[in-house]
Structure 1
């Protein structure tokens, strides 16, 4: 009798495991050896993305016009944005709540290639009944990173002031100051002065950290 009960419990446990849904993927990263793919899905709550990619072909495409990273963004299953960016050997599409409102933003990272260059991050935020887009502009190397530096549930964007590169010295001799941005009202706003104790949290002034990009 005990064996029957134990076996029945084992079958129930297997059934529970079998029907448990897999965790949805929230990021796709592109590397130099990533092969072409079509319509890979990302999902975080009500926000979804469908991503397709083809490696850049120097003989056929110019870096600016390749548009080889394509994506559709959806809200509650309804496609709201169809767009594409050009990226060379590196990139990412990620869903992450940056502003603490429990709705994920979509971050699309692309890399231009070239010495001492350049990453751009497009950020899509759901507001009202549409996605609003902003971007970091093209930034040196890996660009920067999102971190919740004051532990308030909202992510700040940490980077360096690219205007100082080559301004007073060679690239290798340049030490640009930190810049900290916060996502507010659909835009990245400079809040560096609000964080005097949080300078130096990124390692973008360490040229060895950028070696893979140069």
Structure 2
């Protein structure tokens, strides 16, 4: 089974490859992504006047044949690429909070070797009859929508991107598990509710640490992510003992000070 790290890397590499390959093609003037759940249909249209340029990105939401929302989506720059869903050209239209009302997710990729993806999530407010939007940034990574607790409501299975290049080069970085839940217009970190998944993730990180160490890397990025997972499990003290035994290089004292400070500021312990 592929690890989530492999999944993230393949996703980012895929976006870069697709972007590079599209240089060969003639620019497309207009494109369209769609998605539907029940009587709710969403479509994203945009103009592409030249390669790597995306303008007039619009979201249209139709309910029971009536257009409820038709507006230009906010972009940080004209290079933010609408990508429909992260792994298909279908816009995710699904119930994210169990209220029998589908939400709409508009995903963007900002381009570049490492960065970034973000999601605009739209929720229908029955009182006002309008859609309200929040934004969630995924950083260098992405997410997978999975029903992790089998309640028929999906969670966002992701990673903590704050660890990217925090202790080593980006390519040698590793990340603790991070699971988000969408409820009534808010995203909440619910990672600690999934100890079995965290434990499996930590075990894989430890294996990856030993693999990369044999390749000559000091493994600081993997040790940091592993220790964060251990804190999520309530086993921070045990995790520290293992990390301190594993890392014996000259900069160990400085590394441990920086790691402790980082984990505290990131909220892994108080």
How far apart are residue 104 of structure 1 and its match? Answer: 1.6
Whole-angstrom distance in 2 between the partners of 1:127 and 1:73: 13
Equivalent position SS for 1:116: coil
| 1:7-86 mapped onto 2 (5 Å cutoff) | 32=19, 33=22, 35-37=28-30, 42-55=35-48, 57-58=50-51, 61=53, 66-76=54-64, 77-84=66-73, 85=75, 86=78
Equivalent position SS for 2:41: strand
1:125 equivalent in alignment to 2:118? no
Contact 1:56 1:88 in 2 (8 A): no
State which drifts further: 145-154 or 77-86. 77-86
How far apart are residue 58 of structure 1 and its match? Answer: 5.0
Whole-angstrom distance in 2 between the partners of 1:105 and 1:68: 22
User: Structure 1 or 2: larger helix share?
Assistant: 2
Contact 1:42 1:95 in 2 (8 A): yes
Per-residue CA distance 1:92-126 (angstroms, 9 max, x = gap): 03312222333221110111001211111111111
User: Structure 1 or 2: larger strand share?
Assistant: 1
| 1:106-117 mapped onto 2 (5 Å cutoff) | 106-117=104-115
The TM-score, its normalising length taken from structure 2, stands at 0.54
Equivalent position SS for 1:172: helix
Distance 1:166 1:81, change over 3 A: same
Equivalent position SS for 1:132: strand
Whole-angstrom distance in 2 between the partners of 1:87 and 1:47: 29
1:187 maps to 186
1:147 equivalent in alignment to 2:140? no
Distance 1:169 1:48, change over 3 A: same
Per-residue CA distance 1:107-162 (angstroms, 9 max, x = gap): 10111001211111111111222212112224214x11111011101111111111
Equivalent position SS for 2:113: coil
1:98 maps to 96
Where in structure 2 are there 5+ consecutive unaligned residues? Answer: 1-14, 85-90, 209-270
1:176 equivalent in alignment to 2:168? no
Distance 1:38 1:171, change over 3 A: closer
Q: Which has the higher contact order (CA 8 A, sep 6+)?
A: 1
Contact 1:181 1:190 in 2 (8 A): yes
Equivalent position SS for 1:107: strand
What number of residue pairs does the alignment pair up?
168
Distance 1:74 1:90, change over 3 A: closer
Equivalent position SS for 1:176: coil
The TM-score, its normalising length taken from structure 1, stands at 0.66
Equivalent position SS for 1:197: helix
